[in-house]
Each structure stands twice: as structure tokens, then as C-alpha cells.
Structure 1
Amino acid sequence: MQISIDLDKCCGAGQCVLAAPEVFDQRDEDGIVLLLDSDPPTEEHANVRQAAAVCPAAAIAVQR
């Protein structure tokens, strides 16, 4: 799984953190997404895909 984040698009909504808290977090100062695990285990893949799907800014892209 390859995860890419466009920080310029991120609006800090936090939907990714709710969907995949083991993989995403937010910066304290502005709420912008942080990628905690660039190579998440297989059991997190569905959560990562869900996080990308619910991102209101479409800032998360998932491949493979």
C-alpha cells in the first residue's frame, strides 16, 4: 500500500484520524494531517482506504 498526502489540500477536518487512528494524526498547531505509518499492516488497509474516501479535501491518495 502506498499512501500520499497533499498537505496543501488538507483542511484539518480530522476524518482520516477517526477512520484510521493508527495511521493518521493531526498537527497540534493547525490540525493538518500527519502520516504515522507509511507502511501500515494489512489489517489497517481498509481503514486507510476509508480515510481517503471520507477526506473532504481529497488530500489522501492510496495506491495498490
Structure 2
Amino acid sequence: MSSATVANQPKHETIRAKFEHFQKDADKNCHKMKRGTMKLLSLLKKSSIDSKRSGNLTSEK
């Protein structure tokens, strides 16, 4: 969007366009975070199961 177009738009339209842009970025980042979190949880679960199998759990006494 060029500065000439921004100058011709009402202020609230410009703000709305910026907000929608940030909202899309936030949604994309949220999706990435959720995927990353799920991967981490599955790795933790897997390592927990592996350590139970080998009997190396130090938290249980």
C-alpha cells in the first residue's frame, strides 16, 4: 500500500487494515506455537515411557 493510498483512506480504515494484518500474523504464530508444543509434549511423553521401560526414573523412590 503506497503512502498516497493511505492518505486518501479514512483513519479507521487504515487502522482496521493494520489490525487485520497483525491478526493474521498472530494466528499464524499461534498455529506454529501449538504445533511446536504438541511436538514437545509427544517427545516428553516418549522419553518418559522410554525411561520407565529402562527403570531410570529418579523421581520415584
**TM-score normalised by the chain length of structure 2:** 0.27
Greater RCO, 1 or 2 (C-alpha within 8 Å, sep 6+): 1
Higher gyration radius (CA): 2
